[in-house]
């Protein structure tokens, strides 16, 4: 059984999983990486803020990551979903979408999250090209342009105040009551941030370029880009199946050091656990791989020591 067993199965080959695979490959570990090729930023046209790769197409970034795994012959990459996983004795039994089962000593979940976009007619057409959710990722490209932010209440307030860093021509569209108090409204007025409570009918533009927001009352607001506030949910239910507990914001509860004390051998890293940019996700993958390898090493050494002990 031991010979058929992987040292690690990594679920997800986004920046987190690929980075972990690279380090585990360098540690000469036998690794299977399974991926469904649906990374969180697949709608995006350019990945920003990654040192030496600023502006690269997200798909090209992942292609390079996969290409650089090629020399590490102990790492196997498969395009397949992991549909289930269970802990069996000291290891994990992992079920793949083709119903085959594989065994592994350690399991790393790097499955990421899925964004829940606001239900705005026309949004999907522009998402990733002129509708965005992260001003740090995409604000610079739209600096000094006419921008809108979709959101209300505390979230809308906080993000509008951030977004003004990139453009002073900013309107907060709350699509109903703004839920801002008099002090907030006075601050917005002083900073020149418009507030529009009119109900939105749809977004309009040509190809991938947003041009205007059309309101139900017939009003039209010309804008070059729109930022929205999103919520996320886990991409894969595997952690729940393994007995994982979730925090109220639906990201996994991180405990010390990536490995879960309740479920020994289970490691989680990347966007599943917390909001991270790509560079942070890659760093988490690397660190999780280091700790996973260390855990394997400790087990291996304990076994060798046991073998040295005289039989009584």
Ligand X SMILES: Cc1cc2nc3c(=O)[nH]c(=O)nc-3n(C[C@H](O)[C@H](O)[C@H](O)COP(=O)(O)OP(=O)(O)OC[C@H]3O[C@@H](n4cnc5c(N)ncnc54)[C@H](O)[C@@H]3O)c2cc1C
Pairing of strands 259-260, 194-196: unpaired
With contacts defined by CB under 6 A, name the span among 7-15, 153-161, 288-296, 304-312 that binds ligand X.
Answer: 7-15
CA distance 17 to 69: 12
- b/e map of 218-246 (b: 16 or more CB within 10 Å)? eeebebbbbbbbbebebbbebbeebebee
Give counts: helices (H), strands (E), the chain.
8, 18
- Nearest distance in Å: CB 221, ligand X: 23
Q: Which of 27, 77, 82, 252 touches ligand X (CB under 6 A)?
A: 82
- Which of 65/265 has CB closer to ligand X? 65
Pairing of strands 31-35, 91-96: unpaired
Q: Which of 8, 9, 10, 11 touches ligand X (CB under 6 A)?
A: 11
Interface mask (CB under 6 A) for ligand X, residues 33-72, using x and -?
-xxxxxxxx-xx--xxxx----------------------
Reported as type and span, the H/E element at residue 155 is helix 153-163
- Span 240-299, contacts to ligand X by CB under 6 A: 270-271, 276-279, 281
Q: Which of 25, 112, 122, 151 touches ligand X (CB under 6 A)?
A: 112
CA distance 77 to 60: 17
CA distance 232 to 196: 26
Residue 81 contacts ligand X per CB under 6 A: yes
- Nearest distance in Å: CB 110, ligand X: 5
- Nearest distance in Å: CB 239, ligand X: 10
Binding residues vs ligand X (CB under 6 A): 11-17, 34-41, 43-44, 47-50, 81-82, 110-112, 115, 128, 134, 137, 235-236, 270-271, 276-279, 281
């Amino acid at each position: 059984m031991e010979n058929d067993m992987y040292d690690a199965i990594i679920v997800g080959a986004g920046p987190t999983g690929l980075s972990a695979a690279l380090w585990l490959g360098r540690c000469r570990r036998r690794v299977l990486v399974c991926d469904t090729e649906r990374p969180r930023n697949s709608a995006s046209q350019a990945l920003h803020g990654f040192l030496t790769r600023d502006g690269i197409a997200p798909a090209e970034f992942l292609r390079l990551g996969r290409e650089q795994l090629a020399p590490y012959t102990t790492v196997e990459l498969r395009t397949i979903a992991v549909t289930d996983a269970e802990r069996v004795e000291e290891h994990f039994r992992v079920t793949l979408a083709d119903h085959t089962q594989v065994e592994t000593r350690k399991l790393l979940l790097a499955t990421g999250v899925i964004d829940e976009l606001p239900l705005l007619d026309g949004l999907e057409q522009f998402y990733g090209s002129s509708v965005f959710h992260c001003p740090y990722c995409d604000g610079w490209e739209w600096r000094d342009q006419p921008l809108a932010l979709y959101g209300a209440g505390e979230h809308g307030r906080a993000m509008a105040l951030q977004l003004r860093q990139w453009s002073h021509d900013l309107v907060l569209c709350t699509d109903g009551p703004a839920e801002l108090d008099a002090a907030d409204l006075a601050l917005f007025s002083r900073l020149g941030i418009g507030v529009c409570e009119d109900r939105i009918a749809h977004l309009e533009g040509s190809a991938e370029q947003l041009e205007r927001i059309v309101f139900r009352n017939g009003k039209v607001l010309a804008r070059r880009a729109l930022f929205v506030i999103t919520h996320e949910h886990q991409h894969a239910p595997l952690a729940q199946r393994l007995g994982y507990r979730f925090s109220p914001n639906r990201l996994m509860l991180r405990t010390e050091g990536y490995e879960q004390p309740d479920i020994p051998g289970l490691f989680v890293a990347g966007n599943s656990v917390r909001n991270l940019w790509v560079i942070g996700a890659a760093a988490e993958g690397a660190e999780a791989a280091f700790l996973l390898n260390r855990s394997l090493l400790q087990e291996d050494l304990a076994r060798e020591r046991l073998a040295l002990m005289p039989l009584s």
